[in-house]
Amino acid sequence: MYDIIIIGAGVIGAFVARSLSVYELKICVIDKHIDAAMGTSGANSGIIHAGYDAIPGSLKASLNIEGSRKMEKICSDLNIPYENCESLVVAFSDEEKKVLEQLMNKGKKGGIKGLSIINQEEIRRLEPNLNRDITWALLAKTAAIVSPYKMTINALENAANNGVEFLREYEVLEINKENDIFTIKTNKEKLRGKVIINCAGVFADEIAKMVGDKSFKIIPRSGEYIILDKSVGPLVNRVIFQTPTKEGKGVLITKTVDENILIGPDAKVISDKALHETHSDAIDYIYKKGLKITDKIPLHKSIATFTGVRATPDSGDFIIKESISCKHFINVAGMDSPGLSSAPAIGDYVLKLVTPMFLDITMKKNYTITLPTKKYFSNMTVNEKKEAIKENNQYGKIVCRCENVTEAEIVNAIHMTIGATTVDGIKRRTRAGMGRCQGGFCLPQVIDILSRELKIDKEKIQKGDDGSYILTRRTRV
């Protein structure tokens, strides 16, 4: 019997689990996928917004601003790649400048510091590659970028180190409630719990329906992206947005924490929430929209395209409250942008909703809110590299040539508390396979290491979820 069952191991589920994990509560996080961050949290822009977009007074506005303020400390505590790189919203006319002023005033009312409107000369100085017809820009000094999948995995790792269980490949089929106890029927065994927190992302409305809650609907909207190779260099140094229109924030260009360039997303309402598909017309569209920001995009340097699906709520704002139709069932839903930016604040917000549901709740004697500092080998100084290899010679073996990922890092990723069991799991934890050859060289070695460390046959090693096998059989001898 669990005190709390959290459904969904995305960034929201992970931060909710982390906030709750310091209390004497028996908690599990369940996910239908084989790993954390396999939905929206693994495929988005990775931007920590300053917080001027949302309507003042909304949950989106307040949680974004609070999340953004907490982010740097949390990323440092949890070893999450983070950079306070700032953002610009660019305008092409005085008309658009008015929109920038509205955004700035909205942000200032919300207490956001470091907002200013800058002129062409200043834009040129900060971002020399931007097009010349950009006349004004809103500079947000607090905007930042993170690795969204590392953020999810590391927050969940922290929760797991505090005793939270992570149950993978548990798909929720049915939820029943009797005498104040929930029973969740899954594809595996039944789980019983006192409180359910629904962090199921694009599927949150379907989970809520299982307890008779039809109060909201998630409208899945896909967004496609192009990633450019690191060798492109600093095409932009900040997150560059275009002036928002009725259709949304539009296509942006940003650098990532790993020094790639990311262009996207578009926005399209889709029918199949689970289908992460790219389309040539969408890729053409985001490229053309990206060219409005800078005409210097070297498309031939693309290394990957991907699609993420936003969990847009029909209500407009985040839905974070106990269900009106079911006691002790808390919806944490509708987490489209700025969901990532708000995640740490959402964790604490949910904590306040949950604690009154338990009598005599106490904090654990031993808990931690940090992870041991572990730098990527590629980011170590010379002396750190020398030391690392001396301590563990697997640091001397580079497996992923493009990203300089060592065998030690891959082995560590497998043996962490919520260890990687798949090739994509290794990729999200270490970046092996995320470089310009996209795993061409390291895939066979990553399979070798997974097979060796997990003691399973190579044919059983998967890219991701069950069914995504990579090898079918031995060759004829």
Partner 1 sequence: MKLIDLIIIGGGPAGLAAACQAKENGINNILLLERENVLGGILKQCIHNGFGLQYFQKELTGPEYANEFIEKIHKLKIPYKVNTMVLSIQPNKTIITSSKEEGYVVYQAKSIILAMGCRERPRGAIRIPGTNPSGILTAGTAQKFVNIDGYIPGETCVILGSGDIGLIMARRLTLEGVKVKAVCEFQPYPGGLSRNIEQCLIDYNIPLMLSHTVVAIHGKKRVTGVTIAKVDEHFNIIENSKQEIACDTLLLSVGLIPENELTSQMGIKMDQVTSGAMVNQTLETSIKGVFACGNVLHVHDLVDYVTMEGNRAANYATTYLNNSKNLMKKRITVIADKGIRYVMPQYIDIGEKNEKITIYFRSKEIYREKNTIVKCQKKIISRHKNLRLMPAEMEKILVKTEDISGDTIYVGVDTND
Q: Which residue from 145, 196, 227, 232 is in contact with partner 1, where contact means CB under 8 A? A: 227
Nearest alpha carbon to residue 252 among 214, 284, 225, 221: 225
Decide if 287 contacts 252 (C-beta within 8 A): no
Q: How far is the CB of 279 from partner 1 (least distance, A)?
A: 5
Chain positions 32 to 61 lying near partner 1, rule: CB under 8 A, are none
* Residue 298: cis peptide before it, omega within 30 degrees of 0: no
> One-letter amino acid identity for 362?
T
> Which residue, 351 or 470, has its beta carbon nearer to partner 1?
470
Nearest alpha carbon to residue 54 among 45, 67, 73: 67
Decide if 251 contacts 90 (C-beta within 8 A): no
Cα–Cα distance for residue pair 354/397, rounded to 1 Å = 47
> Which residue, 352 or 455, has its beta carbon nearer to partner 1?
455
328 catalytic? Reply is no
> Which residue, 223 or 464, has its beta carbon nearer to partner 1?
464
Q: Does residue 169 bind partner 1 (CB under 8 A)?
A: no
CA 282 to chain centre: 22
> Which residue, 214 or 300, has its beta carbon nearer to partner 1?
300
Q: Which two tokens stand for residue 375?
A: 């730098």
Q: Which of these ranges, 64-72, 240-248, 261-269, 469-477, lies near partner 1 under the rule CB under 8 A?
A: 469-477
Helix (H) or strand (E) holding 145: strand 144-146
Chain positions 259 to 298 lying near partner 1, rule: CB under 8 A, are 274-280, 283
Nearest alpha carbon to residue 146 among 28, 248, 13, 44: 44
| Residue among 33, 49, 276, 328 flagged as catalytic | 49
Cα–Cα distance for residue pair 81/385, rounded to 1 Å = 19
Q: Does residue 398 bind partner 1 (CB under 8 A)?
A: yes
Site mask for partner 1 (CB under 8 A), range 293-322, x = bound: -------x-xxxxx----------------
Q: Does residue 165 bind partner 1 (CB under 8 A)?
A: no
> Which residue, 225 or 318, has its beta carbon nearer to partner 1?
225
Q: Does residue 379 bind partner 1 (CB under 8 A)?
A: no
> Which residue, 189 or 466, has its beta carbon nearer to partner 1?
466
Q: Does residue 471 bind partner 1 (CB under 8 A)?
A: yes
Q: Which of these ranges, 97-105, 193-201, 253-261, 389-397, lies near partner 1 under the rule CB under 8 A?
A: 389-397
> One-letter amino acid identity for 297?
I
Decide if 257 contacts 146 (C-beta within 8 A): yes
Size of the site for partner 1 (CB under 8 A): 58
Find all residues with CB under 8 Å of 31, minimum gap 6, and list them: 7, 8, 9, 13, 38, 166, 167, 168, 169, 170
- Straight-line distance from the first to the last Cα atom of the chain, in angstroms, rounded to the nearest whole number: 52
Site mask for partner 1 (CB under 8 A), range 448-467, x = bound: x---------xx--xxxxxx
Q: Does residue 19 bind partner 1 (CB under 8 A)?
A: no
CB atoms within 10 A of CB 135: 15
Q: In the complex, which residues of this chain contact partner 1 (CB under 8 A)? A: 226-227, 231, 274-280, 283, 300, 302-306, 382, 385-386, 389-390, 393-398, 401-402, 404, 407, 436-441, 443-444, 448, 458-459, 462-476
Q: What residues are annotated to the active site?
A: 49
